[in-house]
A and B are shown apart, each in its own frame.
Chain A
Amino acid sequence: MASVSFSNIEKKFGKVKIIHGISFDISDGEFVVLVGPSGCGKSTLLRMLAGLEEITGGEISIDGKVINDLDSKDRDIAMVFQSYALYPHMTVRDNMGFSLKLRKASAEITNKRVGDAASILNLDPLLDRYPRELSGGQRQRVAMGRAIVRDPKVFLFDEPLSNLDAKLRVAMRAEIKALHQRLKTTTVYVTHDQIEAMTMADRIVVMHDGIIEQIGTPLELFDRPGNLFVAQFIGSPSMNVLKGTLRQVEGRAWVESQNHQWPVGTLVRARDGQTVAYGVRPTDMRLSSTGQGIAAKVIVVEPTGAETELLVEVDQTPMVVVMHGRTDAQPDDLVYLEVSAEKSHVFDETSGLRLD
């Protein structure tokens, strides 16, 4: 268990700079998720921490000690790869014990550690099998077992669930989270799936084009995204964003967009008449039962059992509404949307930064 610190990290491949001065700290025992679209630099950052990529600028420290010049094996980290990277010619037992074998540990220690890890992950019956005989989920667990045996300061996960089917992914998410609660090892987890980030992280680092867009707890990022990118990246279905004009008249404020007035909550740091981007989440809108609100035409109704997703059009602009339970609304119906001011978000149209 240890703290990790990134300080002004830069990464260049040849002349191309893909990570531009990233700094943040991870406290001991924290589960931090690096999330972002493909190409944002999250995997590269993880690999620099692992020692698999050179650090072109800045310093990474583990427990206060700079590790830039240390070889992977001296950094006391363990990594779980996207494609498991199990040694095909070794049994599960040997795979898990490989790092100890390299250090010439005694058979006693090896057996104990492998045995402990195996029982934590329910791998006992599989110890003498070969990777090719295992399912995807089992292989992933062996990869985790291998990491646990190392008893490292930091766990690194590089999109470990991407190769699993949806149902398995949900189950493994819970397992990894439970493992972390049990072992309390500092964990850095990379994924492009924001749901994974939201469900597993203590804190999320949202990355985009080599910079950090925002760092915060899942709920912080959900409730108060710092900019448009985070607002639309976190949350599924993603936030509805409308272009509009901010009106501030005599203490009242609203956003005019699509020929309607949209409520705005707290103080907005902008001038009257300024163009803004107005955001409201699908789950934060309700269908009015009193016929009051913003008029919208229903285009598609998608019931998913416990919820219903509606695609509507407000003045020809599509928006998504997600409501609990069922609805009688049909395509082509006219409905009225209730939006509460506290659940609205206003962003600067050009910089994307939050204004309220």
Chain B
Amino acid sequence: MAEAVALAGSPPRRSSNTWNNWGRLLVLPYIVVFLLLVLYPVSYGLWLARDPQSYVKLFADPIFFRTAINTFIFVVVAVNLKLLIALGLSGFFSQTRWWIKIVAMLFILPWAVPSIPTILSTRFMLNPEWGVINTLIFKLTLKDGPNWLNDPTLALSLSMLMHIWKSLPFWTLILLAGRMSIPSEQYEAASVDGATRWQKFRFITWPSMKGLYLTSTLLSMIFTLGDFNSVYLLTGGGPADLTHVLATLGIRYLRLDQIELAMASIVVALPFMLPLVYFMMKRLSK
């Protein structure tokens, strides 16, 4: 019935002119931003990608094929690994110990600090001649460590690790918040019923967090597609352009003044991205 309102009062339903006009005026700044800086670039980009020839050239480029595979591996492996670890760590951080609080404070660092210094720092650690890691390996085993960034498989894996390092805190925090919103009485009742830790997870924690986990996975895939820094700053796309992902490939074409190819490489990702975006919109749009 119209009288039963959940929140105190109810949202305004008037067509008073002043209030409507102010509403339109106040939402205008964002609309301007959107039109000039989202709609225009996106439309323009799609227009630049209209030439079928670009796609022919793109598919003929061996780098592209490799890049597609790299991107697929990167997104699927890195995201799922990351979310899985985040799920586990969210359990860890939900324990109340004084020292865990300190660990949590440190744990935020990768997310808080900018990527350039930390990725470059890692890059130097991996330097085959004077990097800390190989120096330590030599000290311990008297053998030379691998040339980390010169082996395409290792290099790609390290980029993924770098990406995970940077974004893990954010997702752990999200999943932790999800965990904290589960009322503790459910766990207490389960304890009284004699549930083991695993059973508590399976029957209380997981059902509550399933939705959030799925949403986070989808969202993280979108973000990971856009992670330029983790690859570019660590490997530069090398060796020999073998560790490019779509994010860096587009920029590579751009720097070579081949903008149509750049846009084409992005458009090619759309069939995979659009379903993701669609699902996310459905879940979050209210």
Contact = CB atoms under 8 A, between A and B. Distances in A.
Interface of A: 13, 16, 18, 38-44, 51-54, 71, 81-83, 85
A39 B12 contact: no
Interface of B: 1-4, 8-9, 12-16, 18
Q: 9 shortest A-B CB distances, which residue pairs?
A: A39-B1, A83-B8, A39-B3, A18-B2, A13-B2, A43-B3, A54-B14, A38-B3, A71-B16
20 contacts: A18-B2, A38-B1, A38-B3, A39-B1, A39-B2, A39-B4, A40-B3, A41-B2, A42-B3, A44-B2, A51-B14, A52-B9, A52-B12, A53-B14, A54-B13, A54-B14, A81-B8, A81-B9, A83-B9, A85-B8
Contacts of B4: 38-39
A208 to B, nearest CB: 12
A40 B3 CA distance: 8
A44 B1 CA distance: 11
A18 B4 CA distance: 13
Contacts of A54: 13-15
Contact of A44 (B3, B9, B12): B3
B22 to A, nearest CB: 13
A69 to B, nearest CB: 9
A42 B16 CA distance: 23
Nearest to A39: B1
Contact of A85 (B1, B9, B12, B18): B9
B3 A41 contact: yes
Contacts of A13: 2
A136 to B, nearest CB: 14
Contacts of A39: 1-4
Contacts of B8: 81-83, 85
A38 to B, nearest CB: 6
A18 B3 CA distance: 10
Given A13-B2, A39-B1, 8 more contacts: A16-B2, A18-B1, A41-B2, A52-B14, A53-B13, A54-B14, A71-B18, A85-B8
Contacts of B13: 53-54
A81 B8 CA distance: 9
B19 to A, nearest CB: 8
Nearest to B17: A71
Contacts of A40: 3
A348 B190 CA distance: 59
Contacts of A53: 13-14
Contacts of A16: 2
A16 to B, nearest CB: 8
A4 B12 CA distance: 23
B95 to A, nearest CB: 32
Contacts of A18: 1-2
A151 to B, nearest CB: 24
B101 to A, nearest CB: 28
Contacts of B14: 51-54
A295 B73 CA distance: 89
Nearest to A163: B8
A222 B14 CA distance: 38
